Amino acid sequence: MVDVAMSAERLNRLGPSRWATLPAVCYLIVVTQLPFVATIYFSVHSWNLLYPARPFRFVGLSNFTFIVTDPIFRTAIENTIVFTAVPAVLTMLIGLGLALLVNRLTFGRGLAYSLLFSPFLIMETVNPIIWKTMILNPIYGLLNFALTRFGLPPVDLIATAPRIAIIIMIVWQWSPFMMLILLAGLQTVSQETLEAAQIDGANSWNQFRHITLPHLVPYVSVGMLIEAILILPVFGPIYVGTYGGPGNQTTNLMFSVYKTLTEQYEIGRAAAGGIITAIMTTVVALVLLAYVRPYMERN
C-alpha cells in the first residue's frame, strides 16, 4: 500500500500540466457560472422588456418578496415540492419492487431490462402526449375504457386531479431509473451472508429485512439524491401535459419562470424565480448529501 501511495505521489509530479483540466473548467465557468452570477444581478433589478421606457433599476429583494407572497408563485413553490417529493418516494418503492423481481430472474434478464428501461428513454414531451391522449383522455382514453368495463365511474384526471396526472407521468418515467440503481445494490449483496442466514433458519422476509434492506440504504439515498435534483426542475410534462393548468394548479417554479420570461418579459422576476429554484435544489442536495456522505466515505 505504501508503495502505491509513493508511486502515486511521484506520478502526480510527472502529471500533465494544468492545461489538461483548464479548458473544461473554464468552459463550465463561462457557460454556467457567469450566467448564474448575472441571474443574481438581474434578480435584484426591475426590468421589463415590453416597457423599454421604464428604467432598469435596483429594487433590492422585492422580486423575491413578490415571489414568496404572490399566490401564483406560492402555488408554484408548493407544486415544485410536491412534484419532487411524491415521485421520489413512489419511484423508490416501485423501483425497489421491480429491482427485487428482476434480480431473481433466471432467464430473459436482457429482455426485462429493455422493456422496463423503456419509459426512461421516452422524451419528456412525448411522455405527456402518450398519457394525455391514449391513456387519460376522458372520452377516448384507455383508462376510462378499463374503468367502465369494471363498472367503475369514468374519471377525467387532467381536469379534476391534474397534479395526480403529472405525478403519474413523472413516476412512469423515473421508476426505471430507481430500479437500475437498486439493482446494482442487490447484485452486491453478499450471497455468503444470505446463505449463512438461511442455514441459521432465517426466512426470506427476515433475510430481506435484516441483510438486503440495510445493504440497500446507501443505494436508495444516492438514487433519491440524483433523482430529486433531476426531477425538481421537471418541465416537459407540465408544458405539454397541462400547460401549468387548469388555472395554475400544476405550475411549478420552472414553468412559472418560463412564462414570466417568455410571456411577460419580466426579467428581474424571472431571474429571482431562477435563483429560488437553485436554492431549493441546493437545499435538497445538501440535506440528502449529508445523509449519503457517511456511506460514501465508508467505501
- Residues between 261 and 290 with contacts to another protein, criterion CB under 8 A: 261-262, 267, 270-271, 273-275, 277-278, 281, 285
Minimum distance from residue 209 beta carbon to another protein (Å): 19
- Distance (Å) of CA 112 to CA 216, 219, 228, 285, 293: 21, 21, 25, 32, 32
- Shortest approach of another protein to residue 272 CB, angstroms? 9
3-class state of residue 266 by DSSP: strand
Residue 32 lies near another protein (rule: CB under 8 A): yes
91 is a site residue for another protein (CB under 8 A): no
- List the one residue from 74, 93, 145, 160 that touches another protein (CB under 8 A): 145
Binding mask 42-81 toward another protein (x if CB under 8 A, else -) reads: x---------------------------------------
The answer to whether residue 240 forms part of the interface with another protein (CB under 8 A) is yes
Determine the interface stretch with another protein among 58-66, 155-163, 207-215, 249-257 (rule: CB under 8 A): 249-257
Give the residue with the Cβ less far from another protein, 37 or 89: 37
Would you count residue 93 as binding another protein (CB under 8 A)?
no
The Cα 63–Cα 50 span in angstroms is: 17
Tell me, residue by residue from 3 to 22, as one string, x for binding to another protein by CB under 8 A and - for no binding: ----x---xx-xxx--xxx-
Q: Which amino acid is at 46?
A: S
b/e per residue, 232-259, with b = 16+ CB within 10 A? bbbebbbbbbbebeeebebbbbbbbbbb
Cell 442455514: give the residue.
Answer: 199
Supply the minimum distance, in Å, between the C-beta of residue 41 and another protein: 8
By CB under 8 A, what part of segment 165-194 binds another protein?
172, 175-176, 180-181, 183-184
Residue 33 Cβ vs another protein, minimum distance, rounded to whole Å:
7
Residues 6+ apart with CB under 8 A from 212: 186, 189, 194
Least CB distance from residue 39 to another protein, whole Å? 5
Q: How far apart are CA 129 and CA 242, in angstroms?
A: 10
225: left (phi over 0), alpha (psi -120 to 50) or beta: alpha
Return the ∠ at Cα 68 (arms to 64 and 69), rounded to 5°: 115
Per CB under 8 A, which of residues 214..233 are in contact with another protein? 222, 226, 229-230, 232-233
Q: Euclidean distance between the first and final Cα of the chain, in Å?
A: 17
